[in-house]
Amino acid sequence: MAIIISGISMPVGTSDNEIIAAGLKKAGISSANAVRTGIHKISLDARKQNDIKTVSSVWAELEDTSAEKKICDKKDNCSLVDITPFKPIITGTERPEGRIAIAGFGPAGMFAALVLAEAGYRPVVFERGSDVDSRADAVSKFWAGGKFSAENNVQFGEGGAGTFSDGKLTTRIKDPLCRFVSARLVEMGAPEEILTKAKPHIGTDKLRNVVKNIRKRIISLGGEVRFNSKVEDIKVDNGKIKSVVVNGEEINVSALILAVGHSARDTFEMLHSNGIAMEAKPFAVGARIEHTQESVNRSLYGVHYNDPALPVGEYQMSYTKNGRGVYTFCMCPGGTVVPAQSEENTVVTNGMSEFARDGRNANAALVVSVSPDDFGKNVLDGVDFVRKIERNAFKAAGSSYSAPASTVGEFLENKGGIFSPSVEATYARGIVSCDLNEVLPHFVTDMMRTGFGVFSRRMACFGDKGALLTAPETRTSSPVRIPRGDNMCSLSAVGLYPCGEGAGYAGGIMSAAVDGVRQACGVMKTFTTKN
């Protein structure tokens, strides 16, 4: 066990050793009594622009372990935490007759495969897209004006959708496995700072190397990763999964971890046709808003906006009215807006940043919550709803994979179009001046306008009428959920393990990876590696 000492407020630039010393003093702990110490988390408090601070928490392991609980009982700012490293345990006794398989090699699939491989299962991964290097090449060519690939794009391929993002690891879940995932990512090449930053990110440039190292680790332990291998069908017999059809080949499986991501619409349709229990779920749609990074920094830091000791500015805002939310999501400081479609003749936007976050612009999703009440309660109605928006965007922008866009000022006046922009667009396929009311449902655009009224009072840059809106942002989360029982399996098929974002159990890289670990553990509770 260890003590976590929280609420340590210090000037920006204070060294780790000084923060640790301040934390020990706050808890009344002598440094001589601490066996090990370190920074647990560190964040920035910029609420007062004339007094910007870091707020940290420190962990301390004491020589006298009995004293740890006594200190925590006396000090409100101290709590006990178990620092024992997580180690999956095999408790299953059933010998697998077929392969232990994973569909999808995004964060959920990667971590499921990694945990299983390290436990001796020799899993096989089926990934419909290609390896990350081939994938990056195909994506770059498309962004430069080349041909679109429905199987090799921002959504599909090694690393999943997160590979072409900011590599953001922030999450709302409070799960001890987050620490395990972060530590493994560092082992695989991620920056060590992700262990302590309150808002950690890897960046698309560093993430690509990380995913390659995870793949190499899985293969070195006897696992397989098959690229360009799409799970086209599943076979269920007497309520139990028996096989999968991959590129026309039927392969016997005892377990299939289904980690296909939020954009595998054809897979959702296949599962539905096979009678797998599914349900429509809420998600959000909107557009990407793009400001200069300088304007974001000025809004957050005031006269200190150019201080090299301060991190690149980022934000997250939300507002709810009459039960409907408008919020910013997946903010990418110093990043670009990127084409992110997974189907032909559609337009989808997303955000991407490199680790340095040193681009001239910042962007974020500005989205509005939608629910089955808006699009219909049939299982795939949400898929149809989003697909219609993406096809409307394609047509509105000239059917060329350019994106429809508008300045905020024109959008607020319900005119649409681009007039006196203060931002140079970064969308690689180019933008076309459009009325976004022709792309997005009116209840969405109305709520976005409400959001601007609220957010502009919180951050000055949201009052910039020359900021740019590029639409649509539609891949915030999966439009379906695949329910699972206490055994972690689908309610319809024993041995089918719905996992990650595509199954409706995660929202981002970290939560997806954690769910992958949990589903791997679910497999280990049933199956053994012994012959």
Domain contains 275: yes
Domain contains 91: no
| Cα distance between residue 142 and residue 437, in whole Å | 27
8-state DSSP, 15 = -
Whole-number percent of the chain with pLDDT over 70 = 100
| Cα distance between residue 417 and residue 292, in whole Å | 19
Per-residue pLDDT at 303 exceeds 80: yes
Q: Quick check: bond before 472 cis, omega within 30? A: yes
Residue 85 confidence (pLDDT):
86
Per-residue pLDDT at 106 exceeds 90: yes
Task: Mark whether 413 and 498 lie in a shared domain.
Answer: no
Give the H/E segment covering residue 349: strand 349-352
Task: Mark whether 115 and 251 lie in a shared domain.
Answer: yes
Q: What interhelical angle do 177-187 and 107-118 show, nearest 10? A: 80
The 10s digit of each residue's pLDDT in 369-378 is: 999 999 998 9
Domain contains 531: no
Torsion-angle region of 61 (φ positive above 0: left; ψ -120 to 50: alpha; else: beta): beta
Q: Which domain holds residue 159?
A: 99-279+480-526
Residue 172 confidence (pLDDT):
87
| Residues facing 337 on adjacent strands | 351
Task: Mark whether 306 and 180 lie in a shared domain.
Answer: no
Per-residue pLDDT at 1 exceeds 70: yes
Distance of CA 427 to the CA centre of its chain: 21
Task: Mark whether 18 and 33 lie in a shared domain.
Answer: yes
Residue type at position 59? W
SS3 state at 270 = helix
Domain contains 133: yes
Domains contained in the chain, number:
3
Residue 64 confidence (pLDDT):
85
Per-residue pLDDT at 530 exceeds 80: no
Last residue in a domain, options 37, 52, 81: 81
Backbone angles phi, psi at 468, to 5 degrees: -115, 135
Q: What is the CATH number of the domain that holds 216?
A: 3.50.50.60
Average confidence score pLDDT of the chain: 96
Task: Mark whether 160 and 134 lie in a shared domain.
Answer: yes
| Cα distance between residue 447 and residue 430, in whole Å | 26
Task: Mark whether 429 and 292 lie in a shared domain.
Answer: yes
Task: Mark whether 261 and 381 lie in a shared domain.
Answer: no
**E-only strand ranges, 177-248:** 224-226, 231-237, 240-246
Per-residue pLDDT at 531 exceeds 80: no
Domain contains 227: yes
Closest among 489, 492, 491 to 525, alpha carbons compared: 489
- Report the DSSP pairing between strands 99-103 and 249-258: parallel
Task: Mark whether 348 and 449 lie in a shared domain.
Answer: yes
| Cα distance between residue 329 and residue 166, in whole Å | 12
The 10s digit of each residue's pLDDT in 49-91 is: 999 999 999 999 998 888 888 999 999 999 998 888 899 999 9
Task: Mark whether 493 and 449 lie in a shared domain.
Answer: no
Q: What is the CATH number of the domain that holds 22?
A: 3.30.70.2700
The CB density around residue 494, as the number of other CB atoms within 10 Å, is 18
Task: Mark whether 333 and 352 lie in a shared domain.
Answer: yes
Domain contains 90: no
Domain contains 134: yes
Whether the CB-CB separation of 210 and 109 falls below 8 Å is answered with no
Task: Mark whether 127 and 205 lie in a shared domain.
Answer: yes
The 10s digit of each residue's pLDDT in 490-512 is: 999 999 999 999 999 999 999 99
Task: Mark whether 144 and 264 lie in a shared domain.
Answer: yes
Last residue in a domain, options 81, 116, 139: 81
Per-residue pLDDT at 338 exceeds 80: yes
The 10s digit of each residue's pLDDT in 144-196 is: 999 999 999 999 999 999 999 999 999 988 898 999 999 999 999 999 999 99
The 10s digit of each residue's pLDDT in 244-276 is: 999 999 999 999 999 999 999 999 999 999 999
Whole-number percent of the chain with pLDDT over 90 = 94
Domain contains 87: no
